[in-house]
Amino acid sequence: MTKSDESRPLKDRTKLVHAGRHPFEQHGFINTPVYRGSTVLYRSYADLVARNAKYTYGTHGTPTTDALETAWTEITGAAGTVLAPSGLSAVALALLTVVKAGDHILVSDSVYQPTRSFCERFLTRIGVETTFYDPWLGEDIASLIRPNTSVIFLETPGSQTFEIQDVPAIVAVAAAKGLCTILDNTWATPLFFQAHGFGVDLVVEAGTKYLSGHADLLLGLVSANARWFPRLHATFDLFANCPGPEDVFLALRGLRSLELRLREAERQGLALATWLVERPEVARVLHPALPDCPGHAIWKRDFRGSSGLFSAFLKPTSQKALAAFLDGLKLFGMGYSWGGYESLVIPFDCSSYRSATKFAPEGPALRFSIGLEDPDDLKADLAAGFERLKAAG
């Protein structure tokens, strides 16, 4: 634990700089090095029999993975954290920590699409049934609970469409019924949404996004409260699905500047979102920090900030015009994932798989991840794109 001398708790930004580091256990060097290894030697037969060693085998943890887990536990306010080799594998680990054959689970209709596929294509195979629920449901989610329901899975804001869930209302229902809550907190990170503080049991973060911040690694983290951490850790040990040490090291490097980058992502994201609101080609911008965005009031009540990822619906136009807009962009790259230093845009269409809500914008839907470029340059790139769109439309 990183502590200040007085009893006053340290601010997040300070914690991010100091958490999980022990320079004088490594000759004074600031950063925990990359420990590579499978075998860990025991000093004696007696130690081997008693498993009397801090580290016992590569899959069970190294000083490098410990550093990130300890830091993340401190920043999330959890009882403990385990790592996974991707965000999606962290989602799977969290679910498999809780469910058993015969269970029923409730999953928000606007979860990250591969989370949905994991439920539909894998959990069904082990006898777990999923009901997808409208993310706008608050306490009324109680009406969907069955005697065998074990999990309520949340993701706020929702992937691509940015619905803000009423987490306190859902957690209260889950607590009253003894259900486990799992929340994918990738958009806000613990800096902008303290999910464990709201009583969520297991919290997933795709470290691939803002923790990395540089589009150069894949990583997942699952943090748990005291009730669930022993079972999470035991499940992690059963799978031994651990990330590579180089990626963990890079995530630790990203951690130190996470607050700084996230604040800038917020500023840049809002600058571009408010600019898009004024464009005649744009029908609607979905960004929870904009006052007329659905869910804004709940966002304001529960969140401490917004990140640089949001969506926009364009006014109806042709595929040819959309292609002209996208293909000529010089600064915005087109590709999956987000949260790096570079700006991205990706068209999306949820209409074929959302089941509890209707996705039917009149025009194309685009998701933007705003990077660290100068916002004037980004606006100019998009403005030129809108000129091409008009010319082709």
Ligand X SMILES: *Cc1c(COP(=O)(O)O)cnc(C)c1O
Residues binding ligand X (CB under 6 A): 86-88, 91, 112, 155, 159, 184, 186, 206, 208-209, 218, 220, 337
Contacts for 230 with CB less than 8 Å, ≥ 6 apart? none
CB of 85 to ligand X, least distance (A): 8
Cβ proximity to ligand X: between 117 and 355 the closer is: 117
Q: What are phi and psi of 248, to 5 degrees?
A: -65, -40
Q: Measured between alpha carbons, how far is residue 346 from residues 70, 133, 310 in Å?
A: 35, 25, 11
Residue at shortest CB range from ligand X: 87
Q: Which residues of 106-121 are buried (b: 16+ CB within 10 A; e: fewer)?
A: bbbbbbbeebbebbee
Give 189 or 317: the residue with its C-beta nearer to ligand X.
Answer: 189
Cα separation, 267 vs 292, in Å, equals 18
Q: Give whichever of 188 and 232 is closer to ligand X, judged by the CB atom.
A: 188
Which C-beta is closer to ligand X: that of 61 or that of 87? 87
**Smallest gap from residue 195 Cβ to ligand X (A):** 13
Least Cα distance to 369 among 340, 328, 327 occurs for: 340
Beta carbon of residue 203, minimum distance to ligand X (angstroms, whole number): 12
CB of 219 to ligand X, least distance (A): 7
Neighbours of 141 (CB within 10 A): 21
Beta carbon nearer to ligand X, 72 or 325: 72
Nearest approach in angstroms of CB 342 to ligand X is 16
Which CB, 11 or 121, lies closer to ligand X? Answer: 121
What is the secondary structure of 272-330 as a DSSP string? HHHHHHT-TTEEEEE-TTSTTSTTHHHHHHH-S---SEEEEEEPS--HHHHHHHHHT-S
Identify the CA nearest to 313 among candidates 276, 338, 288: 276
Nearer to ligand X, 112 or 386 (CB): 112
Minimum CB distance to ligand X, residue 99 (Å)? 18
Bridge partner residues of 113 (DSSP): none
CA 350 to chain centre: 19
Least distance in angstroms from the C-beta of 6 to ligand X: 37
